[in-house]
């Protein structure tokens, strides 16, 4: 009961500190990129930002299956229910860059940090522009970079697997990038869609990330994209029918 009572002011204080922490880290990333252009340094800043975002709200992260990550460039696909998906994955799954809705790039300092970090700007209602972004990122995949996209396209309101969009799978086929599914459990309870106070009334929660074995897009044509998409979905679906994770 005592920790539950403490969770209320903790959440309020965290909501005040979060944008300050975010602006500080985004500004640091912009400076680091301009002065050093060093990916490892930028990754450390991203990790510092996201891990502290979790800590300030009492969020613990457990990771399974890191050994399933292939060498070189690949594409994470994950179920998306909360901003804390992003924090947990960026904090604990190593170096990669997300695709983020283009509206976020308009936020002062934060948007500049995203651009400098190499986040992919996704204009969800402008399909042609999205595919231009993916096409430009193909060379980065071939150079060994890793990306993460939510195949559902937006956050779901509960911890279920929504319908998949075609974009990430077209990207994977064109870039010849292995697809690495990530199952995210627990994030929806921390800050569901429409919520603004993480872990309100709860002192601590745990997010579990399970990295599944990669699925190769080689041999699939763009016309066969639905087959690959369905294959990935069938690999992920059983984790949402399980009572225990």
- The answer to whether the CB of 91 falls within 8 A of the CB of 51 is yes
Check residue 180 and give its pLDDT: 98
Q: What is the pLDDT along the chain (245 residues), one digit of tens a residue?
A: 889 999 999 999 999 999 999 999 999 999 999 999 999 999 999 999 999 999 999 999 999 999 999 999 999 999 999 999 999 999 999 999 999 989 999 999 999 999 999 999 998 778 889 889 999 999 999 999 999 999 998 899 888 899 999 999 999 999 999 999 999 999 999 998 888 999 999 999 999 999 999 999 999 999 999 999 999 999 999 999 765 44
In this structure, the strands spanning 97-101 and 74-78 are unpaired
SS3 content of the chain, % helix, strand, coil (to 5): 50, 15, 35
pTM: 0.94
Backbone angles phi, psi at 206, to 5 degrees: -120, 135
Residues 6+ apart with CB under 8 A from 117: 29, 33, 42, 46, 97
Instruction: Outline where 56-123 has alpha helix (H).
Output: 83-92, 110-117
Q: Which is it for the CA torsion 56, 59, 23, 158, positive or negative? A: negative
Domains and CATH numbers, the chain: 2-240 (3.40.1130)
Check residue 243 and give its pLDDT: 52
Check residue 212 and give its pLDDT: 98
SS3 label, residue 121:
strand
């Amino acid at each position: 009961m005592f920790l539950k009572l403490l969770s209320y002011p903790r959440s309020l204080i965290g909501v005040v500190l979060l944008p300050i922490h975010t602006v500080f880290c985004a500004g640091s990333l912009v400076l680091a990129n301009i002065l050093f252009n060093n990916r490892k340094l930028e990754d450390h800043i991203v990790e510092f930002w996201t891990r502290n975002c979790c800590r300030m709200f009492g969020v613990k992260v457990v990771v399974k299956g890191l050994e399933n990550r292939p060498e070189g460039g690949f594409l994470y696909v994950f179920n998306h229910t909360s901003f804390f998906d992003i924090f947990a994955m960026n904090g604990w799954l190593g170096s990669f860059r997300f695709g983020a809705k283009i509206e976020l790039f308009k936020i002062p300092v934060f948007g500049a940090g995203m651009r400098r970090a190499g986040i992919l700007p996704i204009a969800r209602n402008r399909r042609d522009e999205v595919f231009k972004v993916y096409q430009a990122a193909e060379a980065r995949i071939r150079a060994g970079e890793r990306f993460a996209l939510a195949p559902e396209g937006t956050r779901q309101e509960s911890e279920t697997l929504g319908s998949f969009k075609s974009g990430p799978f077209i990207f994977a086929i064109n870039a010849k990038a292995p697809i690495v599914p990530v199952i995210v459990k627990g994030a929806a309870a921390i800050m569901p869609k429409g919520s603004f106070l993480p872990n309100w009334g709860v002192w601590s929660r745990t997010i579990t990330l399970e990295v599944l074995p990669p699925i190769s897009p080689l041999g699939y044509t763009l016309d066969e994209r639905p087959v690959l998409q369905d294959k990935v979905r069938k690999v992920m679906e059983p984790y949402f029918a399980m009572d225990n994770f």
